[in-house]
Structure 1
Amino acid sequence: ELGIEPNSMLGSCGGSTCAYTNTISWRSPTTPLPTENDPRAVFEMLFGTSGSTDPEVRQARIERDRSILDSVNGALRDLELVIGMSDRAKLDEYLDSLRDIERRIQMAEEQSARELPVVDQPIGVPSDYAEHAKLMMDLLALAYQTDLTRITTFMMAREISGRAYPEIGVPDSHHPLSHHQDSAAKLARLHKVNEYHFQQFAYLVKKLEQLPEGDGNMLDNTLLMYGTGISDSNTHFYDDLPIALVGGQKTGITGGRYVRYAQDTPLANLWVTVLAKLGLPIETFGDSTGPLDRLLDV
């Protein structure tokens, strides 16, 4: 779960909890997964605090993490014997987090011998938007290379974002600008912001295309979705959402075309269709009404 802007899950944002504006991933209907916007922290999640992707350094870090985790698990088993039922739910959540860490360590062990480009740990959050986005996408691609994850989310901007983009000639804050009131000047500046964001996405597409994988490249085996939850930000209109699916030849998606679906078709129908393609068939997701036609090669 990656992002560019701060990721607070607390407080009120636009009249609702900040969890709805600052993340698009949820562990459960009531548990949000916060985004991480610090490249240094992302690197540490992938490779620990070793500061490098060097194999020997990574292996030493894996062994240290495994030792710490074994010690914590032992202490928790003792704790389970003495706590009451009211504390058990909190402990279960903590155990879920530990199991996630254990899964990451196991994956790291499995890929520790894989040859990777030697990459040093980033210093922190770049002040330049494009530099920040590209650094995060480099780490995303590196995570795919190491097979530490196969699914990611990336928020190019949070809801109700106050960020300005003076580097492209847009001094306005993003959210107020999105309520353009059909002003031609504001629409032109908003178009610049949208185009700027899409240019960063194009960088990721090109990055994956340049990474060899199997008998092709990583993009051949990857399905990327770029989109938004609102089609007209001025009126908060959320029909006719502009969604781009970008995938290589092995994803089963027929590219190079524009497909328009009937009005009121839920976006969740796309997730049902994609999950089925990934080998995770489900009957419903959110407000879905069924899979989409005209999308997959069948």
Structure 2
Amino acid sequence: MMTRRESLKKLVAGIGYAGFGGSMLPQIGQAANSIITSAGGPKRVVFFMQNQGFDPKTCIPTNMVNSGSLASAVLPEPIKALDPFKEKLHIINGLHGRHTSPSHSAFFGALGGYRGSDGVPPSASTIDYELSKVLPETLLPHLCIGMDSLDNMVAKPTVANLSASGAGKPIFMYSNPNHLYQLLYGGISSGEIRNQHEASSAMLDRIEKFAIAKGDALPELAQQRYSEFTQGFSDMNGLRERLGDASEHLRKFAPPVDQHYATPEFETDWHDRLLDLGISALKSGTTNVLTIGSGRGEIFGSWKGLGIDKQGHGLGHMPQKDNPIWVKIRKYNMSMLVKLMEELESIPEGSGTMMDNTLIVYTSNNADKQHTKGETWPVMLLGNCGGAFKSGRFTQLDGTRPINALYTSILRATGVHVDHFNMSENMAMRYDSGAGPLSEILA
């Protein structure tokens, strides 16, 4: 059987990619070499952000107060599905996000570690984007998918609330699986998806040519600003062409298209298919960083497919512990995490599997609850990213280190040495009792 590394090596040798030309889409040559020569395989990170908060009482094991092993721990009902994976699990409580002003949501601040709010643009890049720059480069450095009510996903198939590539530079997430399938696999699909892919490709080509031609007539200063606009179309067209060049490799990982793409009965039909597409992008090596926004970083969200009629803002006003509605939502999340782990474990990589080189970060975009001050921000880690993180543990921190310290730790695990992530010296003196990574979680 050909391993994923051998498949990627054959792919790169047969295609010989050139550079992408823009900062959004890096060169693959160095990335491919990293994938092929890395002893343990390329590292990858997945962020799963659930809206409305993550009550620590729904994840801290029964009777556990102090840090310790999870080996004999009894996991709470909402996360019970992770019981077979306790040796890969690390539950962390006691980080804070007071400086992010999370309330209903910290929006970009949840992954950026800075003040965020509804309608406020990002003030800096977020951790997922920063990781996409330092992990082995891929065709699509960073993929964001967002899950919401069916009406919202249809009306706004792309929104930007969680990820950013810099100050004032939001990254949009895909919420319509048909659109994402077109992007990833349109060149190898058939039927209506193929027709839409070809139509949109032709349109993007025409827009790029038209935009370039019109830009030549602008004053010099305006040309510089306008070039950023036209570069977006160039990047997208370049990505589409390169995905097409890799079609034979991608064909092995493309999920089947069923009736739920075109005619979903519930929003969860699209949630499940978005997850399938995210998993396929990881397995194919198309991306090494995946961000999943359940609720898309806002106060909305719907799970009618789970038999839950209540939706949106009202869900956040319910206590989560022992609440049958939140137990269903959290169990659904855990089923997604289990599927993600099992899929990655099914792909050989290095001397183990893809999951051995992966870190999954599960938390919320507004700390522990709606209307929170961010005093505590529970996080669950799954996997150890090539042995970089301790696992099979519960860690109780003292509440004096921010979520930025977690992101500093993840950067350290990928070879980036920083004392603080997105924190000035003054901010760190005010909100962080330490410096550098969290020694409690790094191996």
Same structural fold, with TM-score higher than 0.5 when normalized by the shorter chain: yes
Give the drift of 1:220: 1.3
Aligned residue for 2:440? 294
Do the aligned partners of residues 86 and 295 (structure 1) sit closer, same or farther apart at CA in structure 2, a change above 3 Å counting?
A: same
**Pairing 1:4–2:139 present:** no
Q: In the alignment, is residue 211 of structure 1 matched against residue 339 of structure 2?
A: no
Match of 1:15 in 2: none
Identity of aligned residues (%): 18
Q: Following the alignment from structure 1 to structure 2, what is the Cα–Cα distance between the partners of residues 114 and 8?
A: 27
What's the offset of the Cα at 1:97? 4.5
Partner of 2:229: 93
CA contact (8 A) 1:211 1:218 kept: yes
d(CA) in 2 for partners of 1:114, 1:169: 35
- Contact 1:39-1:125 within 8 A present in 2 as well: no
1:195-206 aligned within 5 A: 195-206=331-342
- Distance in 2 (alpha carbons) for counterparts of 1:165 and 1:77: 44
Equivalent position of 1:175 in the other structure: 313
Equivalent residue, structure 1, for 2:162: 24
Higher relative contact order (Cα pairs below 8 Å, separated by 6+ residues): 2
Per-residue CA shift, 1:136-171, capped at 9, x if unaligned? 222112112222211111112234544444554532
**Out of 372, 380, 398, which is 1:262 matched to?**
398
**Which residue in the other structure is 2:217 paired with?**
82
How far apart are residue 118 of structure 1 and its match?
A: 5.8
Post-superposition Cα deviations, 1:175-213, rounded to whole Å, max 9, x if no partner, equal: 213213x5988x443333233323222222222222333
Deviation at 1:7, TM superposition (A): 6.1
Q: Partners of 2:336 and 2:399 in 1: how far apart?
A: 30
Consecutive unaligned residues in structure 2, runs of 5 or more: 1-143, 429-434
Task: Specify the alignment match of 1:48 in structure 2.
Answer: 186
Match of 2:330 among 190, 194, 197: 194
1:35 corresponds to which residue?
A: 173
Alignment partner of 1:127 is 2:262: no
2:408 and 2:418 in contact (8 A); partners too:
yes
Deviation larger for 165-174 or 43-52: 165-174
Cα distance in structure 2, aligned partners of 1:116 and 1:246: 26
- Which stretch shows the higher mean deviation, 104-113 or 224-233? 104-113
Which range is displaced more, 201-210 or 227-236? 227-236
Pick the aligned partner of 1:240 from 363, 376, 380.
Answer: 376
Question: 3-state SS of the aligned residue for 2:396?
Answer: coil
Structure 1 SS opposite 2:401: coil
Does the CA-based 8 Å contact 2:147-2:301 persist in structure 1? no
User: Secondary structure of the equivalent of 1:259?
Assistant: strand
2:178 is paired with a residue whose SS is helix
Distance 1:230 1:72, change over 3 A: closer
More strand per residue: 2
Of 158, 162, 165 in structure 1, the residue corresponding to residue 296 of structure 2 is 158
Q: Of residues 264, 275, 279 in structure 2, which corresponds to 1:137?
A: 275
Amino acid across the alignment from 1:238? G
Count residues in correspondence: 276
Q: Distance between the aligned counterparts of 2:355 and 2:384, measured in 1?
A: 5
TM-score, length-scaled by structure 2: 0.53
2:266/2:304 contact within 8 Å kept: no
Contact 1:240 1:263 in 2 (8 A): yes
CA distance in 2, matches of 1:26, 1:35: 11
| Secondary structure of 1:206 counterpart | helix
- CA shift, 1:35, in A, is 1.3
What is the rounded CA distance, in whole Å, between the counterparts of 1:172 and 1:35 in structure 2? 24
Query: Structure 1's 262 and 124: CA in aligned 2 closer, same or farther, altered over 3 A?
Result: farther
The two structures have a TM-score, normalised by structure 1, of: 0.75
1:14 is matched with which residue? none
SS at match of 2:400: coil
> Retained in 1: the 8 A contact 2:359–2:381?
yes
- Which residue is 1:276 aligned to? 412
CA contact (8 A) 1:230 1:239 kept: no
Q: Which moved more, 1:261-270 or 1:232-241?
A: 232-241
Contiguous gaps of at least 5 residues in structure 1:
11-17
